[in-house]
Amino acid sequence: MKRSFFSVFLTFFIFIGAYAQDKPAIIPMPSKIEWKNSEFQFPSTITFYADAEAEKSLKWLKTLLNTTGSELEKASEKEANVSLKINKDLSSSLGKEGYQLKVTSEKITIEAVTNAGLFYGITTLRQLFPAEVESGKITAAFSIPSVTISDKPYYEWRGSMLDVARSFFDLDYLKKHVDRMALYKLNRFHLHLSDDQGWRIEIKKWPKLTQIGGQSAVNNGRAGFLTQEEYKDLQAYAKERNVMIIPEVDMPGHTYAALQGYPELSCENFENLNPKRAIPPAPFHGTDVGWSKFCMEKPVVYDFISDVIAELAEITDGPYLHIGGDEIEDEHYKEFVVKAEKIVRENGKTAIGWEEVTQAKVDDPFISQRWTGATKSVVDTRIIESICKNFYLDHGNIPNQPNTYSWCKKDGVSLKNVYDFVSENKKAIGVEGALWTELVHSDATADDRLWPRNIAVAEVGWSSPKKKDYSEFKKRLGTHGKRLDYLGINFYKTPDVPWNTTKIKGVFSTVEK
């Protein structure tokens, strides 16, 4: 009898262990998750329900359910297999972006305080589906495990920055990036729209910015720009997916592309260019920084800044405009920052700048984006953490990766470097991974630098530091290999991750060597 009981017990233990190992990998890690020993089998006809306030999220649910091949039919809340509900009573526990997801053998229910929360609940449900869901259609019958999840983000700001000024990325790629961000609950897409090598956003009062500055790029990079209509199209696309566009026009340094079209923004004899690496109207294709700036003594410069900020504010839905402000030495710098920040405020927006701007006495709402942590600030602002040794994705995935930088961290910025970041600053509102594109000239190369490290950024931004475990994260990430393949992402196969991948015709591209 004892041996028989032991055999039964061992069989049960092995079954439970295997069942636990087969659980879908959810990234970012939810706040609370409790798996059950049952599953939901999708019927041939799926009935769904959404209350009046949740109707906005219904299209995302239907898009997901359509991948099952089942018929969809509207039903009452009581009779529905899948339901969405806005529940304001959850406000104190979940906040604006949190959600509750409950899967039983009979029903799937998602509740949240806002439609943003419902969107994230649907996103988590999507990760319970097989990876094939990312192809648009699941070809075999499947079930998902029963589970109860209560989840909310650790930080409000979970960002991804892409430099389109050095080398341009078109609307199609930018929309794909938004989709990928949304899958991992990243919610701030920071576009670096101007630099020495190019100007990428149409400003109607100053058309030469794109007529001239939009036609140049870094060596081997791509030129181009977004019209205001394309920008608004991208913004609307992102907003539907709970991603906010953060536009950055860098000033008063990194300005040669503007000076190229409007040399009157320069000083006499171009004394503001030091050394003179290029002279208007010649383009600049190099990678040097810190040599160009506006002639801040000239009133026309402030007319220009006022016009640019006004137009950008008018077409931007979100509350933020980024004014750059890095890598410059000038006696007029602090005065310029204060004036530029005031112009942003007068246009109804909150200014963001790289950490050097906190040398000036900017207004309280100002947000500082830290990238070195070395600036001696004279103000106590809110902070976005983009420390280069953890979040600069132009650095190699591994030491000595071709066409990557190493100036901030000689052995590159590994997946683990990103994941291990913990902010000790109480004013931090979030984190942001940054991809500068002096050495990134194709979509495939951008994919290689952004992914999977951006997934680590997402977990750092969403999940509590107390829950972080790199070894466990790697296992979950590895199972997302197939999902990334189906999405067509040319991601870097981090060597210590147990990748589960699949070969899909037409997906893979060659990264620049």
By DSSP bridging, strand 45-50 and strand 82-86 are parallel
Rg (CA), the chain: 25
Please, what's the largest Cα pairwise distance for the chain? 99
DSSP string, 235-290: HHHHHHTT-EEEEEEEESBS-HHHHHH-GGGSPGGGTTSSS-S--TTS-------S
Structure tokens at 395: 């650095």
Q: Does 498 sit behind a cis peptide bond, omega within 30 degrees of 0 on the bond before it? A: no
Nearest to 278 by CA among 196, 399, 215, 392: 196
Strand-strand pairing, 82-86 and 32-41? unpaired
The residues near 231 (Cβ < 8 Å, ≥ 6 apart) are: 201, 202, 245, 247, 315
Chain-centroid distance, C-alpha 161: 7
Residues facing 131 on adjacent strands = none
Token pair of 493 as six digits: 């196969």
Place of tokens 């699941």: 138
Residue 336 DSSP code: H
Strand boundaries in 404-507, DSSP class E: 428-435
CA-CA-CA-CA torsion sign (81, 84, 89, 93): positive
Asked whether 199 and 262 are in contact (CB, 8 A), the reply is: no
Q: Tell me the DSSP string of 138-186.
A: --S--EEEEEEEEE--S-SEEEEEEETTTS---HHHHHHHHHHHHHTT-
Distance CA 371, CA 188 (A): 17
In sequence order, which residues have a C-beta less than 8 Å from that of residue 505 and are 6 or more positions away?
Answer: none
Cβ–Cβ < 8 Å for 23, 56: no
What is the Cα–Cα distance from 423 to 440, expressed in whole angstroms?
28
79, 327, 356, 385: which is the annotated catalytic residue?
327
**327 is known as an active-site residue:** yes
Residues 6+ apart with CB under 8 A from 238: 178, 189, 244, 245
Active-site residues: which are they?
Answer: 327
